[in-house]
Structure 1
Amino acid sequence: MKREAYMIEDLLKKYKNSTSGTSEMLDRLLTEMLENIGHTDSHIRDQIIYNEFCQILLNNSLNREQISKIINQCIKNLSFNIGETNTDSVFTRSFSILFLHAIICYDNQSIILSERDFNKIIKNSLHYFKVEIDVRGWVEDKGWAHAPAHTSDLIVECIKSRYFKKNLVNEILEGINSNIFKLQLNSVCYIDDEDIRMSMILVSLLEERYITEKEVGIWLAKLKDYLETGASKKIEYYRKTKNYTDFIRALFFQTERFKYLQKNIKILLK
């Protein structure tokens, strides 16, 4: 195990066993976690850093200043080497999204964020959703990058927030639109359930009544029209078409309650 793991685990042990000075120890631990948030060792990144952060959050151990520091650093991380593809920087960006997702989930249960905090998170996350171009899922020897899936999960939780406003819907649809037509290196389409995770955004919008079945049907038809205007025999077109088809199929199976929409999806799949 690498030095970072020993350091973080040592800080964790001291923090958990401490009866005094825990705020200072927690600050040191959080700093170390944030500095290594995108570590390429999945054990350090997933098990030690992310899982332990979630536990600290659930234990209600963070004060207002610490939460603000985490939010600001994670948002800053979203622009870290943005525009790169097939590099390790995506882990920093994608796992910063996971930290923000954990915070929003907790806020939906325990009310820890101000409306300003929420707006900062959703605004920057939606921008990131559109501009991230490294859309790999599982990365050999390094684990999950999964930026589109992680960001989709965050957006789903944001839709459940008391602070969510309907005027965010169009920007969310633009983000989904952008991601459906993204491809991995060498024109590889989505293969790690990204379609399911993105479809859950629309399911949440429907369930929370921020969008109607008719509006979703019209939007899906426009996406198909846009796709078909670029029809060609190139592999990129085939793969983008597969992304779209997989997405609406995933949506179909998630919307059993919405029969009108399912009827429209069946037509689009013909």
Structure 2
Amino acid sequence: MQDQDLKIQASKKDFLQEIAANNYKLPDGIEPFAFAQALLANLASPDAELRDDLSSIILAGGIINQQKLTQQQLEELLSITLDRDHLFYRIGETGTDSVFMRSFSSLIIASILFNDSPDPHFPPSTIINVKEKLFHYAQEEKDWRGYIEGKGWAHAMAHLADALDECAQHPHMSARDRQEILVQVSELATLGKPLYHEEDIRLAKIAYHIIIGRQVDEDFIDNWIDMCSTSRELDVVSWTRITNAKNVLRSLYFLLHWDNMAPLVTERISSTLYKQDEVYLEKKTAEE
């Protein structure tokens, strides 16, 4: 099938629905890498079914995770998703549909890293570059909307968290790299924009996996918990930051608690949360 024909087919929902119904197996005659590139364009679509339910899942689950691409093709696909037309597409915009391309590029990056981790073929320099690009993206992204009525999930924070999680767990990452990722998580956790579509647990999972894997030392985790606590001021932005941070720490607390892991860390989180909410406890005592 010619590239132009493939692009047309990739944009047709009925064609993609047939692939999904066939357990995401590509039809005969479809070249996986060319089709993967064609599907990337759909990540910018405001059509939730085309973007989320079909294209991203076929690309991640039916092509990348099913090992349909050569190593050279995976490297090229990763490079494409990290470029200014994908992860950094119209970066800085807020309230526009450009967020879909940026956000879902993060999701594909996460899938590529997940696929490589069990038996790494990417060189360490590639994974370090991914880490740095994700950090840069985290600093530049301004549109943190979760669900958009009529258009579905944007969820840039959740998808970024997934990519950072896969990056942190890649074998090429060192303890220092993981410390840097946790610092980035603390900055995202104290964002001044409200996060209320379960972004907290997606961020908490990054720390959870690092902690249970004992991938950084305990002193750093202790300091990192402090990074996730903010001062309680009277302005709305400060209240938003402290609410986001508390939700991330609460999620991390219960992830560790349910697995009966790292009791000293959970105790430290509990103590930090108590201090953050002590103002309410004092008020209650005074009223009594």
Structure 1: gaps of 5 or more residues: none
Look up the match of 1:56.
63
> Under a length normalisation based on structure 2, what TM-score does the superposition of the two structures give?
0.80
Structure 1 residues 16, 193: CA separation in 2 closer, same or farther (over 3 Å shift)?
closer
Structure 1 residues 15-30: aligned runs within 5 Å? 16-18=26-28, 22=30, 25-30=31-36
CA contact (8 A) 2:162 2:202 kept: yes
Q: Deviations over 1:226-262 (max 9, x none)?
A: x21xx43222221211111111111111122111111
Partner of 1:266: 270
Contact 2:11/2:42 (<8 A) preserved: no
2: CA distance between counterparts of 1:62 and 1:103?
11
In 1, the alpha carbon distance for the partners of 2:228 and 2:178 equals 16
Paired residues, number: 256
Cα distance change of structure 1 residues 138 and 183 upon mapping to structure 2, 3 Å threshold: farther
Q: Please list, as runs of the form range in 1=range in 2, the aligned pairs for 1:209-220 lying within 5 A after superposition.
A: 209-220=214-225
Q: In structure 1, what is the Cα distance between the partners aligned to 2:242 and 2:27?
A: 54
C-alpha displacement of 1:8: 8.6
Q: CA deviation at 1:27?
A: 4.1
Asked whether the 8 Å contact 2:168–2:178 carries over to 1, the reply is no
C-alpha deviation, 1:93, in angstroms: 0.8
Alignment of 1:192-207 (within 5 A): 192-207=197-212
Deviations 1:111-167 (A, max 9, x none): 443333322222212221233221111111111111121111122222222211122
Work out the CA distance in 2 between the residues paired with 1:139 and 1:183.
Answer: 19
State how far apart, in whole Å, the 1-side matches of 2:64 and 2:157 are: 24
Q: For the Cα contact (< 8 Å) 2:117–2:170, is it kept in 1? A: yes
Letter in 2 for 1:241: I
Q: 1:153 and 1:64 mapped to 2: Cα distance?
A: 22
Residue 51 (structure 1) shift: 1.0
Residue ranges of structure 2 left out of the alignment (5+ in a row): 1-7, 20-24, 275-288
Partner of 2:53: 47
How far apart, in 1, do the equivalents of 2:44 and 2:171 lie?
A: 30
Note the C-alpha offset of 1:204: 1.4
Change (3 A) 1:123 1:222: closer
Which of structures 1 and 2 has the larger relative contact order (alpha carbons within 8 angstroms, sep 6+)?
1
Q: CA RMSD in A?
A: 2.5
- 1:84-123 pair list within 5 angstroms: 84-123=93-132
Q: Normalized against structure 1, the TM-score is what?
A: 0.85
Q: CA 1:89–1:173 in 2, change beyond 3 Å: closer, same or farther?
A: same
**SS of structure 2 residue aligned to 1:97:** helix
2:12 counterpart SS class: helix
For 1:8-19, list aligned pairs within 5 A.
9=15, 16-18=26-28
Q: Hey, what does 1:235 align to over in structure 2?
A: 236
Alpha carbons of structure 1 residues 233 and 44: separation in structure 2 relative to 1, 3 Å = same
Q: For residues 76 and 13 of structure 2, what CA distance do their matches in structure 1 show?
A: 21
> 1:18 and 1:220 mapped to 2: Cα distance?
52
